[in-house]
């Protein structure tokens, strides 16, 4: 007869292995957004609903730029890395200031399908593009 403790340990180990293998099967989608010459490129970034994603925001200009995603990150956990300055409020992530020649990464999982615009809200910049979540 197999001891109950051994059975529970085996069940726990099997569960952990299954969790790690399913995480490995869901690769993170990475998309790069470049701010240059008062424009974002590409004009459209497409992400998959429910799939882990990384947005890499690069500023190739000598000017400060902002990445302001309108409504994309509502009720979404966002992890920020790099040399940009993220801004949060009671609803969560709202804005990222990216210094000249700067680079930041935003890691998250899109929770809502749709088209979400993002802008640079600094005076006179008039930069706008979109992220589509399918």
Output the domain CATH number for residue 83. 2.60.40.420
For residue 22, the SS3 value is helix
CA proximity to 95, closest of 115, 112, 118, 77: 118
Q: Which domain holds residue 90?
A: 4-133
Q: How many domains does the chain have?
A: 1
Mean pLDDT by 10 residues, the chain (134 residues): 48 44 62 96 97 98 96 92 95 95 98 97 96 97
Buried b (16+ CB within 10 A) or exposed e, 12-31: eeeeeeeeeeeeeeeeebee
Q: What is the pLDDT of residue 5?
A: 55
User: What was the pLDDT predicted at 1?
Assistant: 53
Rounded to two decimals, the pTM is: 0.78
The whole-number pLDDT of residue 52 equals 97
């Amino acid at each position: 007869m197999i001891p109950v403790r051994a059975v529970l340990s085996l069940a726990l180990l099997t569960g952990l292995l299954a969790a790690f293998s399913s995480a490995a099967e869901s690769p993170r989608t990475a998309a790069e957004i470049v701010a240059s010459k008062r424009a974002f490129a590409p004009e459209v970034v497409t992400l998959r609903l429910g799939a882990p994603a990384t947005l890499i925001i690069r500023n190739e200009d000598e000017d400060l730029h902002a990445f302001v995603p309108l409504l994309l990150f509502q009720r979404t956990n966002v992890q920020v890395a790099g040399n940009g300055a993220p801004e949060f409020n009671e609803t969560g992530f709202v804005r990222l200031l990216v210094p000249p020649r700067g680079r930041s990464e935003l890691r998250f999982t899109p929770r809502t399908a749709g088209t979400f615009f993002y802008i640079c809200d600094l005076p006179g910049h008039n930069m706008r593009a979109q992220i589509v979540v399918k």
